[in-house]
Amino acid sequence: MAIEFLSAACELSKSALKDAMNKGAVWLTPRRGKQRRQRQRLRRATAQLAPGDTIELCYDPRVLAAEAPRADLVEDRERYSIWFKPAGLLAQGTDFGDHCALQRQVEQHYDPKRAVLLVHRLDREACGLMLVAHDAEAAAALSALWREDRVYKRYRAQVRGDLAATRGSAGRIELPLDGKASLSEYTVVGRDVATDVTTVDVVIHTGRLHQIRRHLEAIGFPVIGDPRYGRGNKNRDGLRLAAVAIEFVCPLRKQPAAFALDPATLGW
């Protein structure tokens, strides 16, 4: 059994090993004949190993001890579902575990036989809407929308400074990122003079890594609470960035699909 093999190979107790397996820190690469199959998480302590199988333990007690906020189901459309990912929750797990990831929480919500395939990503520090597919065909069709920039994506953010006074109440940011053309459009929706904070809605037309955060920092208005970009924008309550709206023509139903959060529910 897998648990016996691991117990003999390391100094961890069986209870610690079972916890690691439940949280996705153990990996199995099966070998059948001369071929190795796809690497997969191994969660069953009683799983039988075969000659040639490779088993890995990616053990980090800090990761395994972490607790993640819970995601909320917004709508289930059978072949895909829409979820609210809170700040602090990963979209997808790492080698060291997936118990603090949206994908695993969705898997636990549904029948084990129901596929859970991520269509896009959202930064761990950010919150907002995420779409999850439940079969390979749906995942491929929906992923194509993101890849071809056929999804309307609107975000709500708070930045340090008076953006409207400096650059106008609405504008475009077309600074290239990673050597590629990038476009973000912003609209100022609020201003708090006392805290020197401006609230903006941002629509992105490309999907570069940390696009909104990098674009706003580049023009001198970093997102509040961003741990990576900007100066003078620290915030003990975290990153002020949320994905609040997603719209597209559903390739499965051939009908418009729109999902939106009430920004008032964000609490900032």
Torsion, CA 56, CA 68, CA 235, CA 176, rounded to 10: 60
Compute the CA torsion angle 177, 157, 102, 229 (nearest 10 deg): 50
Residue 210 makes CB contacts below 8 A (sequence gap 6+) with 123, 228, 229
Tell me if 97 sits within 8 A of 105, measured CB to CB: no
Contact 130, 82 (CB under 8 A): yes
60 in active site: no
Other CB atoms within a 10 A radius of the CB of residue 239 amount to: 23
Q: Is residue 251 exposed (0-12), middle (13-18) or buried (19+ Cβ within 10 Å)? A: middle
Instruction: Find the catalytic residue in 53, 98, 123, 226.
Output: 123
Q: Tokens in use for 235?
A: 């915030």
Phi and psi (nearest 5°) for 144? -60, -35
Q: Which residues are catalytic?
A: 123
